[in-house]
Amino acid sequence: MSSVNEVREKCKKDMDNFLRRGGIPVIEYRLPDDEWLVVNIEIIDRGVLFILDHHISNDDLWFSGSILQDGNEFIMPYDDHMEDLDSYLQEIDREIIEGYLIPNNLYI
């Protein structure tokens, strides 16, 4: 198990490598009526930031208690139980699908 600081540094390194290879830090979800939900991903000091391009009411969200919210910006704080950026991306994907898309009948 790694310390939170080690996890933060590993995530930063993973993102730098991803960007250096030409990756675009975005997750896209197809929605009904040929619309898309675009989620931008950033690494910040407090955790992995994910920003939804749609305005979403708190009544439409069922994210876990560990997710911090400021408008349409969400932070998954660093945790010593996660090991790398991929772990965070998988968890963010699960949160969006189970906590937003499925409860709002948007999952295709």
Instruction: Give residue 54's pLDDT.
Output: 82
Read off the pTM. Answer: 0.92
Domain residue extents for the chain: 4-101
Q: Which amino acid, residue 94?
A: R
**In 3D, which of 70, 21, 22, 16 has the Cα closest to residue 43?**
16
pLDDT digits (tens, 9 = 90+) for 13-60: 999 999 999 999 999 999 999 999 999 999 999 999 999 998 777 788
pLDDT digits (tens, 9 = 90+) for 78-99: 998 899 999 999 999 999 999 9
Rounded Cα distance, 19 and 35, in Å: 26
Instruction: Give residue 15's pLDDT.
Output: 98
Average pLDDT of the residues of the chain = 93
In sequence order, the β-bridge partners of residue 29 are: 37
